[in-house]
Amino acid sequence: MHYANGKLLTRELQGIFRSFAWNLQGHGVILVGNNGRIVKVEKQRLVTIPTGMRENFRAISISPLDGSILAVGNAGSAILVDEEANVSKVQVSGSENLRAASWNPDGTLALIAGNSGNLFAYKDETTQVIEGGRANLRHIAWRPNTGLALVTSNCFAEEFIPSPNLFSYEAETQVVNPLNEGRADLIGADWKPDGSSAIVVGYDVIWHNGVISTFDGQNLSPIEFPNRRVYPVAVSWNPKEPVAAIVSAVAQPGMGEGVVYLYDERSIQPIFRSNTFFFSAVNWNRDGTELVALGSSVTRAFNC
């Protein structure tokens, strides 16, 4: 789904894609998905990047330094693709599914997160294990112009062991600290452009109510909205205007909709709904003029 100048357009692509990022120039998106696929989309033009991978990619981040693509996915798969489409593997220990990747604001370090608390720092072509996570880690959000990142997490580790569902990571010390506990799986997060607060989204795993909260650096404060059987999974702040886009998936077929919401710090309003496609990712371009939300018929809140 594409949203610009108050107009909505939808476009269907062949295959299953799980995430995307805007390219370095901000005029096209790069999709990652099943069977190791990476596809550049610029207007009507699609270019497939051969990766030599068969594992499903789940997350992507574009380096702000040189536009290189960091893509991660199932079975510990992680690759770096440069601007000439040369592919190199990023070595990570273990074979857990990797769910998130994000370059820091200056492009000197990337965090990679995945199941069973796996967290890695990638810098200068090497990876380092970062201890402190416990359950499945879901998303990474760097605070603008800082070395601090939020890392969202499921609220239960294996055998339903309670786990913190939100962590902070400090690049300078490489220390992970728990910030919050509860019965919600926290999935997506994004900081306001000025870094004053973040929005964190997920859902209560007991009552299956959606959770949208603001984080002020210390505490989470819930935002009221019609949340019954709503599963928010991703959020993106507009870099130029005080409005955030939030998207939802479903837990199972027939339970809820795929929805794109806009939140202007006063209210949350849906701008698009679908009973067929359920969303996994959303992002504004760097100018705040275009919004893209990515969904598929097989997306579920637990596999975002």
Which percentage of the chain shows pLDDT scores above 70? 100
Delimit the domains of the chain by residue range. Answer: 2-303
Q: What is the mean pLDDT of residues 267-284?
A: 97
Query: Is a pLDDT exceeding 80 seen at residue 177?
Result: yes
Measured over the CA atoms of residue 211, residue 31, residue 240 and residue 7, the dihedral's sign is negative
Query: Is a pLDDT exceeding 90 seen at residue 170?
Result: yes
- pLDDT score of 160: 85
Contact between 232 and 275 (Cβ < 8 Å): no
Q: Which of 73, 292, 282, 79 is nearest to 187 (CA)?
A: 282
| 265 or 160, greater pLDDT | 265
* DSSP codes, 2-28: EEETTEEE----SS-EEEEEE-TTSSS
What are the pLDDT digits (tens) for 126-138? 999 999 999 999 9
- pLDDT score of 158: 82
Q: What is the mean pLDDT of residues 260-276?
A: 97
pTM for the complete prediction?
A: 0.97
Name the band, by pLDDT with cuts 50, 70 and 90, for residue 285: very high
Name the band, by pLDDT with cuts 50, 70 and 90, for residue 42: confident
Tokens 């505490």 found at: 219
Could you give the CA distance from residue 263 to residue 198 in angstroms, rounded to a whole number? 13
- pLDDT score of 254: 82
Q: What is the mean pLDDT of residues 94-113?
A: 97
The alpha-carbon radius of gyration of the chain (Å, integer) is: 17
Query: Is a pLDDT exceeding 80 seen at residue 159?
Result: no
* DSSP codes, 227-285: -BT-EEEEEEE-SSSS-EEEEEE-SSTTS--EEEEEE-SS-EEEEEEESS-EEEEEEE-
Name the band, by pLDDT with cuts 50, 70 and 90, for residue 218: very high
What are the pLDDT digits (tens) for 223-258? 999 999 999 999 999 999 999 999 999 999 888 899
CATH fold of 2-303, please? Methylamine Dehydrogenase; Chain H (2.130.10)
